[in-house]
Chains A and B, each alone.
Chain A
Amino acid sequence: MSTSSAASHGHGHGHGGGMSLGHFISTYVFSKDHKMIGLQFLFTTLLWFIVGGLLALGIRWQLAYPWDDMPVIGGRLFSAEGGQISPEFYTTLFTMHATVMIFFVIIPILSGAFGNYLIPLMIGADDMAFPTLNMLSYWFLWPAFICIGISFLSPPHGAGDGWTSYPPLSSVESAAPASGMPQTWWLIGVTLVGISSMMGSVNYMTTIIQMRAPGLSMFRLPLTIWGMFITAILQAFALPVLTAGGFMQVLDRVIGTGFFVPEGLVVNNADALSGGGQPLLWQHLFWFYSHPAVYIMILPAMGMVSDILSCFARKPIFGYKPMVYSISGIAGLGFIVWGHHMFVSGMNPMLGMTFMVSTMMIALPSAVKVFNWLGTIWGGKIEFTTPMLFALSFISMFVIGGLSGIFMAATSVDIFIHDTYYIVAHFHYVLFCGTAMAVLGAIYFWFPKMFGRSMNETAGKWHFFLTFVFMNGTFYLMHLLGAVGFPRRLADPYHYETFKHLQPMNQFITWCAIGMVAVQIIFAINFFYSIFYGPKVGRNPWRANGLEWFAPSPPVGHGNFDAQPIVYRGPYEYGSPEVDTDFYPQTQPPPDGVQPSDDSH
């Protein structure tokens, strides 16, 4: 970041004179500027992305070469076990991989980083409605990090009851080595992340409803903002349930309330002290949040992909209103499908049928979105820039992740593939090949706005190509593993006759995963190099229409814009016959004699 941009992030009182410590803290640490908070979220979550990726490699190593000494680092990490991963630590690996990726990467990078950075800019506002609350939403992540850190440090090093934390395993201390202190700290940590998200979501809703620039009606909002808006609503309504559930489980553990622990349980020869609860209750509470959370983890990505696609197809988004309705439809239906995680849980099978139908129906708005994206690039003039490649791959990959969901939605098929690698393949296609790729594309796309410089295109394309190849090598074959019935969360599946022959395929997957993590180095170098030495760009390097491109790059400190943006149309007027250029910014007044149309979506 250049010094000029650093100064531009400062508060008014910081101008003139050298940079004092107080100024440094209010600019970079406890900043109330949505852009700085967004960047704080971005850098923090990218760091956690590395942690989550390395945890995944630990899982992959064990599945490829169970009980083999881990090369190079094994001796240091697992000296007690002579360099191999212990079965206890394996449970920690997959628990923490999921926890980190979901709670510390995907949710905060979408809502926290991009939500914060983009919402005020894309709606033409000076800042968020509640800047202090916004600052707190970032800083409430840190107690969560500390709790997870303590969870890692207290023996036996990390929670290991799965990110789903199903009781009684997670509620009764004698159930597993990791069910002691690490589990309590894990629960508190996750609950704190929820508080952070909740502060964000209140802010996003208020900001989007109240602070849009003149002329920016709801149906002129970019789909990114629609995605963020609906996500904020989902968070506001679903999160309290997880928070309540989390507290109940903490109480079960700490003072023995017995919400989730049934009567007369003897686990590992020790009495569970409390009783009178029901383990399935936790699953309902947990999934009542965590299924909508799946959409929290994809809707903003879908929005950003829509914006990128339209920009580089040089063509209006196809079916803007159907897109908005399908985002809303996904969110609405998202509240009544949680039971599909519980088809074989012992839940009333009749209820399973109901959830099956609602789950099938949620595929519909997703399908509508895919068709509209295809419609968007149809008949365009496609520029294959790095962000566009990531956005196109999102369509291609999301189709796989969406379609494989239909198998699991069918209750009777789910009997067989439930908790196998089929589901692992499914959600990685949605969350990694979908959301994470969209996020990478979004970083390439909005990087010039964030730092006033652009990232290297050649390195970006190599990064895209190698990631795309390795990630399909990693996740696609997992469908086949799942078809054999290969279960998740097994430290050593090969002592089952049924799965013995699957080890070579797992080794191939592991090497692809290692490759996938390794090529992210290209991205890291490109990212940091470009912050300091990338070519400088003007306000609108992509010739895009959105309001964020009306602001300087990077936008001026508090206030974002150097002139009040006034909105005349929607953000997707590419190739409009009204003007000679192939784009038509939202802020550009219509030429004389042309009446501004009201719903030029």
Chain B
Amino acid sequence: MGRFWSLLFLLVPVLGVAVFVFAVVPGGVFDNHWLPEDISQHGKVIDDLFMFILYLTGAIFIGTGAALFWFCWKYDAEKNPEPVKYSHGSHTLEIIWSILPAATLLFISISQMDAWAENKMAYPTKANGEKKPALALVTGRQFGWRIQYAGPDEVIGTEDDLHVVNELHIPVNEEIVLRIQTEDVLHSFFLPNVRIKQDVVPGMQQHLWFQTKKTGTYDIVCAELCGWGHYKMRGRLIVESEDDFKAWYASAVQEQNRTSLNADSDD
């Protein structure tokens, strides 16, 4: 039976790698079961890092899996006539397999720091060095996203603001800053296609920024448990050309003014 069990353990890396290959290669059995379309400027760095770690860990996965298989196959007590190698270990090997992974892990750590800093620490600035103002204020609330654009006075938080529910319109090819907050419990603002995720914490004001490169309609997902209706806290991200965005904004402001009775109580 040792042969059978060895082969069973061999199946782990073989099928394990196959599943990922079928997912990565388009048109396979697992088509579309992989990183969703990336429409952001910064997303490629994240996806490349994901793939880099995948290849690296994949190599270790195959290596250890193959070793496990081979040792089970070769040193099966029923088939192996040789006496046991009476060994308590090897100092040299311990050194090698401590330093190599340590160096690799350190390399991964350092090589991904920039992407993180870019994403979470490098607040965008205007040409004159001032902080770029937020395009919109996104407020999470059980169970939806309220979005608030500055009105004609260009300041968010005043009477003339434009209020939209669950629809975030943004212009394409432009660096967008959003201010996000929550009114009640924790939520997480997750844009799968933009590789953005940020928990929103009551009592904190947070900012996030990104730039898209493709128009279309995408999902806004709540990724932090926020109550029984967490699953239905869905919003839409609508990426438009600059002209379309301006046209939408103008018509939305007009619409809101016409029905201003409901403007502030649209829940």
Contact = CB atoms under 8 A, between A and B. Distances in A.
B131 interface: no
Contacts of B222: 487
A233 B15 CA distance: 39
B68 interface: yes
Contacts of B117: 349, 353
Given A91-B228, A178-B228, 13 more contacts: A318-B88, A360-B109, A361-B105, A374-B71, A380-B84, A380-B85, A395-B64, A412-B46, A415-B116, A415-B119, A476-B19, A505-B33, A575-B84
Contacts of B23: 480, 483
B231 A490 contact: yes
Nearest to A477: B19
Given A377-B75, A384-B1, A485 B190 contact: yes
Contacts of B206: 346
Interface in B169-186: 183-186
B49 interface: yes
A314 B77 contact: yes
Interface stretch (A12-20, A125-133, A168-176): A168-176
Given A361-B102, A400-B61, A378 B36 contact: no
B97 A418 contact: no
Contacts of B101: 363-364, 367-368
Contacts of B196: 415
A344 B77 contact: no
Interface string A364-399: 100110111011011111111000010011011101
B83 interface: yes
Interface stretch (A41-49, A442-450, A491-499): A491-499
Nearest to A263: B203
B188 A419 contact: yes
A318 B67 CA distance: 15
Contact of B71 (A160, A346, A377): A377
A420 B53 CA distance: 18
B211 to A, nearest CB: 15
A403 interface: yes
Nearest to B192: A485
Interface of B: 1-2, 5, 8-9, 12, 15-16, 19-20, 23, 30, 32-36, 45-46, 49-50, 53-54, 56-57, 60-61, 64-65, 67-68, 71-72, 75-77, 80, 83-90, 93-94, 97-98, 101-102, 105-106, 108-109, 112-113, 115-117, 119-121, 142, 183-186, 188, 190, 192-193, 195-204, 206, 218-219, 221-232, 234
B94 A485 contact: no
Given A87-B228, A384-B1, A575-B83, A349 B188 contact: no
Given A382-B75, A574-B84, A483 B33 contact: yes
A2 interface: no
B64 A87 contact: no
B89 to A, nearest CB: 4
29 contacts: A168-B186, A168-B202, A175-B142, A266-B184, A268-B227, A314-B77, A346-B199, A352-B116, A363-B101, A378-B71, A384-B5, A384-B76, A396-B12, A399-B60, A403-B60, A407-B53, A407-B54, A411-B116, A413-B46, A413-B50, A480-B33, A483-B35, A483-B50, A493-B231, A495-B231, A498-B192, A505-B33, A575-B84, A576-B86
A492 B231 contact: yes
A245 to B, nearest CB: 16
Contact of B64 (A320, A360, A370): A370
Contacts, number: 326
Interface residues of A, number: 118
Contact of B46 (A261, A350, A416): A416
A367 to B, nearest CB: 4
A176 B226 CA distance: 8
A217 B30 CA distance: 55
A278 interface: yes
Contacts of A574: 84
Contact of B186 (A169, A320, A410, A577): A169
A415 B121 contact: no
A175 B84 contact: no
A280 B30 contact: no
A368 B234 contact: no
Given A344-B197, A480-B19, A407 B72 contact: no
Contacts of B192: 416, 484-485, 498
A483 B101 CA distance: 25
B204 A346 contact: yes
B221 A345 contact: no
Nearest to A175: B185
**Top 10 nearest A-B pairs by Cβ distance?**
A262-B203, A379-B85, A575-B84, A319-B89, A349-B120, A412-B115, A485-B192, A403-B57, A381-B77, A267-B184
A51 B32 CA distance: 35
B225 A489 contact: yes
A472 interface: yes
A357 B105 CA distance: 8
A572 B54 CA distance: 36
Contacts of B94: 319, 322, 368, 372
Nearest to B42: A412
A590 interface: no
B62 to A, nearest CB: 10
A276 to B, nearest CB: 9
Nearest to B80: A381
